[in-house]
Amino acid sequence: MTKVAVVGAAYTKFDEHWDKSLRDLSTEAGAKAILDAGLEGKDIKALFIGNMSAGRFIGQEHLAALTADHVGLTPIPATRVEAACASGALAFLHAYLAIRSGQYDIVVAAGAEKMTDIKGTDAIATLMGAGDQEWESAIGLTFTGLYALIAKAHMHKFGTTREQMAMVSVNNHMNGSLNPNAQFPKEITVDDVLNSPMIAEPLSVLDCSPITDGAAAVVLAKEEVARSTRNPIWVLGSSQASDTLALHNRKSLTEMSATKAAAKNAYEQAGLKPSDINIAEVHDCFSINEILAVEDLGFCEKGQGGNFVEQGSIKRDGSKPVNTAGGLKSIGHPVGATGIRQVVDIVKQLRGEYGQLQVNGAATGLALNLGGSGATAVVNIFGKEQRETFKTF
Amino acid sequence: MTKVAVVGAAYTKFDEHWDKSLRDLSTEAGAKAILDAGLEGKDIKALFIGNMSAGRFIGQEHLAALTADHVGLTPIPATRVEAACASGALAFLHAYLAIRSGQYDIVVAAGAEKMTDIKGTDAIATLMGAGDQEWESAIGLTFTGLYALIAKAHMHKFGTTREQMAMVSVNNHMNGSLNPNAQFPKEITVDDVLNSPMIAEPLSVLDCSPITDGAAAVVLAKEEVARSTRNPIWVLGSSQASDTLALHNRKSLTEMSATKAAAKNAYEQAGLKPSDINIAEVHDCFSINEILAVEDLGFCEKGQGGNFVEQGSIKRDGSKPVNTAGGLKSIGHPVGATGIRQVVDIVKQLRGEYGQLQVNGAATGLALNLGGSGATAVVNIFGKEQRETFKTF
């Protein structure tokens, strides 16, 4: 069975794009990724796109065919995949499986979202489509509210502090300040976070990722094709898992069981342990979630995520650099695009060509993309060297 | 590379379900399909669900994890696939590819839609999310309007008549009158169609499929598993293609180029010609579309679809029985569910156990599911006997 590599990767500036529509952003990201791969449009055999809610944000479903149309690639197979904020990574996973199935040799996996065309309050309501409509949305919960419950539970159980959560945002903004494609490329301080307006206690506005327009795309190719490209980055593991949508049905508020399940399979596929991972992109939609992520991915013990952050382990010169290009917090979070954007950042780091963002010596990287309050988790593991073992579940 | 069969299949009553939510319908269909397969929930390794627009119909995205949650199958991988009204067949196709990839051995592919919880006019607007928002929806076009343009062009170019289109609805209602799961299980006449209220000339209300709630599910399994089940139906070919969303960008209004592209590949995979297909389920969202379908699938010459219908070829005792259980017109069209419902009907026919709906001697069947006005086409071909050749594009 063929092995698969990422051979092209790009994302647009993440921003409020008043002059570009969703199709413009997807096309820009896709064209850049194909050029980055040294390929042409005619080489692409299929298209996958992750998008959460274009139906509500811009009145447009059927986004994959629309994208194939706008980029001039019809009649290629075009599939939209949706799992809330994990839509991007899930599009990647299915593009990967489609190549493994033998159906295609070169595939684009993209992610895109245009969130700023509706009112902010409508955007918040739209995003609650990722939660349980009958149990959560209907009673007025928001995602900040849901993650505030998680944060409170984590603080209560493990002594995690607001300052530690703030340090997540500070680190991501420090990294993002060097990223020209970030929506908010500026440094902030712990005091900035603590003194910013409270959204849902204990999460203030600077604990929260923003509303963003943007798109990202990668080109995946089977081994024979990948080996002829200049710098393939290999997919070592790719796995997804599900959990209850509604928080009240979870056994624990302080861990993401879907993350743990997806990570276990992805590590096993890759034949790697958490300690073998050099860099990671994790889903910091809210600061507390990065703390849960480093725990649930096995980078530190459960409950030690706050200390792990405080000790500087996640910094670019720390033991486990996390969100090295700015994370959702600083780069922005166009929800369907984020999972692919994370892959792009891992690929650029592993290629060793990320300029001022480069973390030296990174040979393995992991990306964790979550949907909702963790009901979907997707873990993809990448390496400069090919070494996967493919497991059937 | 493993071969794949459908080993379980079921759908709910298609209806206005005021007493059931979307998750209830999905769960009912999934449970029935798993029971039909003689399997248990714990045997299912992954879930795919096709759904077009639950975000707008019921305020709920993230439907795959929700379904896995509601049926008690977390943490299995759960993926929603969307391509407007072709979402169901596309979920099937990706479930099939995932098994071929070696990732899973037994997978459920479902489709579901709950369309009646919003006002009819809002449903029409929601459905236009399948068209081009910038070029079509924004100027007030509806899908009946789009297909009326297609019908007019076909009538003008080939002499197709309103009576011939009406005969499509008459045949589908005749079949559907025998289907206990159909939304409108009653016979109608050509005069009924011609005299029913005009929606968009030349399409009257009885040329149009209805707004429906419903869900459908099938269980797919790799060869080793399938051979131990009582009556596996083999997937011989599975292919998708894309076209422009907006009608004005098409080379022709009177053919669906995505159907032709998807059918060509699926026939090639199956090693079959159109004349080898015994029965077909095609996408009669509007009567004219069944006429285009029988042409574009190669069952008759281009332009001869109207005559093909008038001659009775599509009848249950005709040369090419089409929509033998009632089609979208009589069974109903819960948009995300339809593509899977078509597969269920093919499977039941090929098993030879469809009771009063049975078409005798059917050994091969084809299902065509379309999205929008044909921007996505998915063609799946099935057989009682295994005989596929798997082609990489």
Does B241 fall in a domain? yes
Question: Closest to A376 (Cβ–Cβ): which among B65, B239, B240?
Answer: B65
Is the domain of A279 the same as that of A157?
yes
User: What is the pLDDT, as a whole number, of residue B390?
Assistant: 61
Does A388 fall in a domain? no
Q: Domains in chain A: how many in total?
A: 2
Contact A53 B53 (CB under 8 A): no
On chain B, the residues whose CB falls within 8 A of the CB of A245 are: 62, 65-66, 69
Residues of chain A with pLDDT under 70: 1, 388-393
Which B positions 207-246 lie with beta carbon below 8 A of chain A? 239-246
Is the domain of A364 the same as that of A340?
yes
Q: Are A249 and B69 contacting, i.e. CB atoms less than 8 angstroms apart?
A: yes
Is the domain of B53 the same as that of B182?
no
User: What is the pLDDT, as a whole number, of residue A393?
Assistant: 54
Contact B393 A103 (CB under 8 A): yes
Is the domain of B179 the same as that of B39?
no
Provide the sign of the torsion angle of the four alpha carbons A198, A202, A206, A212, taken in this order.
Answer: negative
Distance CA(B135)–CA(B248), nearest Å, equals 9
Does B270 fall in a domain? yes
Question: B78-82 and A78-82: which strand pairing?
Answer: antiparallel
Contact B245 A98 (CB under 8 A): no
Is the domain of B198 the same as that of B78?
no
Does A391 fall in a domain? no
Q: Please, which residues bridge with residue B219 across strands?
A: B8, B108
Which A positions 352-381 lie with beta carbon below 8 A of chain B? 371-372, 375-376
Distances (CA, A) of B132 to A57, B146, B249, B375: 14, 11, 11, 10
Distance CA(B327)–CA(A327), nearest Å, equals 48
Q: How far is CA A304 from the centre of its chain?
A: 23
Of B192, B226, B260, the position where a domain reaches its end is B226
Does B391 fall in a domain? no
Is the domain of A59 the same as that of A136?
no
Does B389 fall in a domain? no
A284-333 residue pLDDT tens: 999 999 999 999 999 999 999 999 999 999 999 999 999 999 999 999 99
Distance CA(B283)–CA(B367), nearest Å, equals 8
**Which of A170, A117, A213, A154 has the alpha carbon at shortest distance from A329?**
A170
User: What is the pLDDT, as a whole number, of residue A380?
Assistant: 98
**Which of B264, B278, B369, B274 has the alpha carbon at shortest distance from B317?**
B278
Residue B258 contacts A where some CB pair is shorter than 8 Å:
yes
Is the domain of B162 the same as that of B60?
no
Q: Are B172 and B289 contacting, i.e. CB atoms less than 8 angstroms apart?
A: no
Q: CB burial class (10 A; 0-12, 13-18, 19+) of residue B225?
A: buried
User: What is the pLDDT, as a whole number, of residue B2?
Assistant: 84
Question: B78-82 and A376-383: which strand pairing?
Answer: unpaired
Q: Give the structural domain span for B188.
A: 138-210+235-383
On chain B, the residues whose CB falls within 8 A of the CB of A46 are: 393
CATH number at residue A75: 3.40.47.10
Is the domain of B268 the same as that of B368?
yes
Question: Closest to A83 (Cβ–Cβ): which among B79, B132, B245?
Answer: B79
What pTM was estimated for this model as a whole? 0.97
Distance CA(A179)–CA(A163), nearest Å, equals 25
Distance CA(A221)–CA(B176), nearest Å, equals 46
User: What is the pLDDT, as a whole number, of residue A48?
Assistant: 98
Instruction: Take residue B69 and report the two structure tokens written for it.
Output: 């949650």
A20-66 residue pLDDT tens: 999 999 999 999 999 999 999 999 999 999 999 999 999 999 999 99
Residues of chain B with pLDDT under 50: none
Place of tokens 């712990």: A190
Distance CA(B182)–CA(B17), nearest Å, equals 13
On chain B, the residues whose CB falls within 8 A of the CB of A393 are: 45-46, 103-105
| DSSP structure string for A79-127 | EEEEBTBTHHHHHHHHHHHHHHTTS-SEEEEEEEEE-TTS-HHHHHHHH
Contact A242 B94 (CB under 8 A): no
Of B226, B254, B284, the position where a domain reaches its end is B226
Is the domain of B203 the same as that of B216?
no
Residue A94 contacts B where some CB pair is shorter than 8 Å:
yes
Is the domain of B256 the same as that of B171?
yes
A365-375 residue pLDDT tens: 999 999 999 99
Question: Closest to A56 (Cβ–Cβ): which among B56, B68, B128?
Answer: B56
User: What is the pLDDT, as a whole number, of residue A61?
Assistant: 98
